[in-house]
Structure 1
């Protein structure tokens, strides 16, 4: 039996797959797939190996692509990916997540859809848009997007979503009703005295820690946060980081205290890595302390950014860590971030990175 690792890469011009053996020493790049559609998020079902790619734009429209043979062939469907007649049309699929046979899609303008037939058809999860705060949601820089989908692996009724710029919302009844979960997160762009609203924060990325702790991590436009109670309360963990601003976060597959970030230099200073020196920042104690991991990463003239879904880990031992840049480079670490290699270059802008481990 041969174990392989696939890095699933979404870009502005299609999906790509980087493939390696379990040692992750040599990589082979395949693609582009999905007829060079803009792909915002590419994921895989670890049980079946099915790959899903969500994307589109106002010209293509929204769709979810699917491959059941590790990228050799693809089909796509947008059946049901629409709001009611007269409502603003859906421009694109921004995020995907799957759990126990159901596939979820976050879209722009912000909303949630579910498929129970492996992406062939979709139904609107209307409860989210029925939340009384919906008329007051405001778009972030990329528009009003639902970009983070976190499904509780232990409770099929629970999920969290991140919306720019409306904040984090949670459901415990499979999407029928929702509650904002933003207590403790700032909105520095609001007038003084209104910086901690019930909703309206610009969350950038939301991830769940491994294990049964219920811990969540959030990279926000205005800081880095941890919650140990499913998002009811958030505490700042940005002390020790070079910047409170960034987009991606990636959780370790087994250690709830270990998290990876790639901070940028600020929202109005260029949005590239601080001092143009690339580093992934790692905590091993839940954000109390941080360390910069730089070996193998460019330390001069690195004027790239990393987008909100363009960082991931794999489930091997030691864990692999991956990120893709706005300039089209894919970096990989086979030793939990201690050292890095550039495994692909000159791709279109990388929008997402996820992983799949398969046994042949």
Structure 2
């Protein structure tokens, strides 16, 4: 299972996953996880295309459910995940033959839906970059200006597409403000991804995966940088910290209270960090060594709430009224 999301209005939970042996699917629970069904009907490319290996992300809005898959593509369901239709416009983008896989493969891992405009959506693909649609997926535009690709030859580090975006989220109340962690830096955009500016100054590394937005303050975001792509991919100096900005990335504060400060040789994957909508906002993350940490005070202090789990690929929150 790669990614799980919940709908607090209905109590329904959706999970995307699968593998090359069993194929892709989206699982659904309508009783808060007590029982599950799953469907892969329609989760396939046309004949002759490379088979879909897994679903990497899911997102729901206004009765529609979207799934990002590997190899990178987008599917939509209008019947709560029972059947799926290929959003073909993305695969038809002129740059598609030049997309190259990241370390985990050619995956569509980030789906950001506009809260007020059903036609707009942003996606993140490793390693093709960020793309945007304003017509429900019929056409797409690369939105990577200002993000680096350090792994390309010198002088070609800022291409139109081909960046290895790691995660993409939207700021609260400002649909045009986006934050991303990238293989090569941390960034903010204030114009819907048309232009990006680096916000990595003050952070211990320019490499990381998860980013989470505050539920109500567009200037507050949380990141967990790792020590680099070839140095082990664990928290810098093996001392765990969540890094918080209160000014949209101008400055950062390392939050360490309650987190291990020695021998923390773990990483945090792209979907394994989340915030909730409580007051104050809660912050949660899961590690590659199977521990879940939680903060009830916007990151000022943390505690372990689960241990000895397998590698944690996804952490999400859902406030359920009982």
The question of a shared fold, defined as TM-score above 0.5 by the shorter chain, is answered with yes
Match of 1:12 in 2: none
1:352 and 1:213 mapped to 2: Cα distance?
Answer: 23
Indicate yes or no: 2:175 matched with 1:179. no
Map Cα deviations across residues 112-150 of structure 1 (whole Å, 9 max, x no partner). Answer: 000000000000000001000000000000000000000
- 1:288-299 to 2 correspondence within 5 Å? 288-299=250-261
Q: 1:118 aligns with which of 80, 94, 103?
A: 80
Q: 2:307 aligns with which of 342, 345, 356?
A: 345
Indicate yes or no: 2:101 matched with 1:139. yes
Match of 1:216 in 2: 178
Match of 2:22 in 1: 60
Shift of 1:91: 0.2
2:60 and 2:54 mapped to 1: Cα distance?
Answer: 18
Q: Which stretch shows the higher mean deviation, 211-220 or 86-95? A: 211-220
Match of 2:111 in 1: 149
- 1:186-265 to 2 correspondence within 5 Å? 186-265=148-227
- Which runs of no fewer than 5 residues in structure 1 stay unpaired? 1-38
2:139 and 2:103 mapped to 1: Cα distance?
Answer: 27
Secondary structure of 1:140's aligned partner: coil
Secondary structure of 2:110's aligned partner: strand
Match of 1:50 in 2: 12
Question: Structure 1 residues 213, 72: closer, same or farther in 2, change over 3 A?
Answer: closer
- 1:292-307 to 2 correspondence within 5 Å? 292-307=254-269
Q: 2:36 aligns with which of 57, 64, 74?
A: 74
Indicate yes or no: 2:290 matched with 1:323. no
Shift of 1:85: 1.1
- Which runs of no fewer than 5 residues in structure 2 stay unpaired? none
Map Cα deviations across residues 241-286 of structure 1 (whole Å, 9 max, x no partner). Answer: 0000000000000000000000100011110000000000000000
Match of 2:68 in 1: 106
Q: Using CA pairs below 8 Å that are at least 6 residues apart, which structure has the higher relative contact order?
A: 1
1:174 and 1:216 mapped to 2: Cα distance?
Answer: 19
Match of 1:268 in 2: 230
1:124 and 1:346 mapped to 2: Cα distance?
Answer: 38
CA RMSD of aligned residues (A): 0.6
2:107 and 2:39 mapped to 1: Cα distance?
Answer: 20
Structure 1 stretches of 4+ with a deviation exceeding 3 A read none
Shift of 1:213: 5.0
Compute the TM-score of the two structures, normalised by the length of structure 1. Answer: 0.89
Compute the TM-score of the two structures, normalised by the length of structure 2. Answer: 0.99
1:212 and 1:345 mapped to 2: Cα distance?
Answer: 36
1:55 and 1:310 mapped to 2: Cα distance?
Answer: 14
2:111 and 2:64 mapped to 1: Cα distance?
Answer: 13
